[in-house]
Amino acid sequence: MLMNPLNAAVAPRGRTVLLSSVSSDSHTWNLVFLQLLLEEMGHRVINLGACVPDELLVRECSAIRPDLVVISTVNGHGQVDGARLIGKLRSEPRTRDTPVVIGGKLGITGGAEADGMARRLVSAGFSAVFQDDAEPAEIGRFLASLDHPAPRHPVAAS
């Protein structure tokens, strides 16, 4: 069950981005905004919406084979839900090498624990972690960087 498209225009060289929240997160403004932004950059966005179960995301990701998966979450459970989710994506052959980034409010206590959390999420398998204060355009730069054969070791942005 996919969510409604917000905008249909896709540039010929646009990328396919699978956009999603995590299983316990019901917030969607972040997803609505990111979809509009990525579509305006000329990318094709498949927006899975709120409270996406891990299995649904793995299934959609295996079927769609997107160029990038963007996980955006702001309910403070991203640290736990994200780590569990990336484990499942990385253990599945068809999604093992798909670039997957996560961003938003990932913990419930604000900034103090942020750096350690980003490191843990990257070592769990995320390609990059975008903290709450990251510029939205950083996602666009990350997508652009996918044009070049990137080193396989992950980077953490903050």
Residues 130-149 as x/- pattern, contact with another protein by CB under 8 A: --x---x-------------
Closest CB 64 distance from another protein, rounded Å: 17
Exactly one of 14, 16, 50, 92 binds another protein (CB under 8 A); that residue is 50
The two structure tokens encoding residue 1 = 């069950």
1 binds another protein, rule: CB under 8 A: yes
- 82 CB burial (10 A radius; 0-12, 13-18, 19+): buried
Q: Which of 10, 32, 134, 157 binds another protein (CB under 8 A)?
A: 32
Distances (CA, A) of 123 to 26, 86, 116: 26, 10, 11
Name the H helices within the chain: 29-40, 54-64, 78-90, 114-124, 137-145
Q: Which is nearer to another protein, 72 or 154 (CB)?
A: 72
Q: What are phi and psi of 73, to 5 degrees?
A: -145, 140
Would you tell me which residues interact with another protein (CB under 8 A)?
1-4, 6-7, 23-26, 28-29, 31-33, 36-37, 40, 47, 49-52, 75-77, 80, 105, 108-110, 132, 136
